[in-house]
Chain A
Amino acid sequence: MKNIISGLNKLFDSRIRLGIMATLSVNDNLAFNTLKELLDITDGNLASHLKALEKNGLIEVSKRFIERKPNTTYSITAAGKCLFEQHLNALERLINPE
């Protein structure tokens, strides 16, 4: 039982964070607005979750300008991918304990 719980990451407690990690794990990078559309949440809500994930090194932010408009894209880091997979495995083990 101890093993199972240790795999679950506190950072992924919220469903929005799970959603962010899920979409970034299958896309090279996504723009802020695309994430907002996919997850169907408000700017502020998304921004705060992104900030938390970024602070912990799970995702990376790149800012650039396209035709003078700021364009912020997010991508998953190697560490983030690894932790997210561990979390998924832990979830699966919880559902199907052997």
Chain B
Amino acid sequence: MSNNTNIEDLKHIRNLMERSSKFLSLSGLSGISAGTLALVGAAVAYFVLLKQGAVKYDEHMNATGNNPVFGIRLQLALLAGTVLICAVCAAWYFSLHKAKKAGLKLWTVATRRTLYHFMIPLIAGGIFCIAMALNNNIHLVASAMLVFYGLALVNSGKFTVDEVHYLGICEIILGLAAGFFLNYGLLFWAAGFGVLHILYGIRMYNKYDRK
């Protein structure tokens, strides 16, 4: 056996180990698109729904029960849901594109494992936030969403590229900060779901996608 065969063998082994155990098709463009959508959503929330702050979205305003507050909260929730769905679709599209380009399948054991570990904290956090909102504890929802999202990223980071782990830690820190500085929920969301995703996406794109 020549040395070249050995080197080829080792390369082949390394590649298979990584490909079979890690979800590597996540595209940097997914992060950039999700971040951009989040910023657009935040802008719509601020300028259209809250009329540039003329309408006070007061996270302290618990149990006032008057209709305008409820209406605005509902509109904000619908907006957030729309942004989320668009972001997930965009992430899926760009990842599918990346997998195809590399001649790989997107829906693999590694993908399922990553998603599974991602969904556990995320679903727990989502239900917890609904419980808080229903109990009129709206003021900590922004914080909790960021914290649980960060935990989901850290949890799934073991099964994908390392950057996801660090993005998760940043989201957790931001979420905890949002818990102390109430009433800046929208700002923290724009930073966490918008700015951080874009920074992360650019880094991922430069490191893995541009070849």
Contacts and interface: CB of A to CB of B under 8 A. Distances in A.
Contacts of A39: 16
Contact of B13 (A22, A27, A30, A34): A22
B103 to A, nearest CB: 10
A37 B105 contact: yes
Contacts of A37: 105, 108
B137 interface: no
A84 B133 CA distance: 54
Interface in A41-98: 88, 91-92, 94-95
A88 B108 CA distance: 26
B110 to A, nearest CB: 9
Nearest to A8: B1
Interface residues of B, dominant DSSP = helix
A27 B63 CA distance: 51
A95 B21 contact: no
Which range holds the interface residue count of chain B? Answer: 10 to 19
B9 interface: yes
A1 interface: no
Interface in B168-185: none
B109 interface: yes
B54 interface: no
B19 to A, nearest CB: 7
Interface residues of A, dominant DSSP = helix
Which range holds the interface residue count of chain A? Answer: 10 to 19
Given A26-B21, A30-B20, A38-B20, A19 B3 contact: no
B17 interface: yes
B109 A88 contact: no
A15 B109 contact: no
A26 B13 contact: no
Contacts of A11: none
Contact of A22 (B17, B105, B109): B17
Contacts of A27: 20-21, 109
Interface string A1-38: 00000000000000100110011011100100010011
Interface of B: 3, 6-7, 9-10, 12-14, 16-17, 19-21, 105, 108-109
Given A26-B21, A95-B10, 12 more contacts: A15-B9, A18-B9, A19-B13, A22-B17, A23-B17, A25-B17, A26-B17, A27-B21, A88-B10, A88-B13, A94-B3, A94-B6
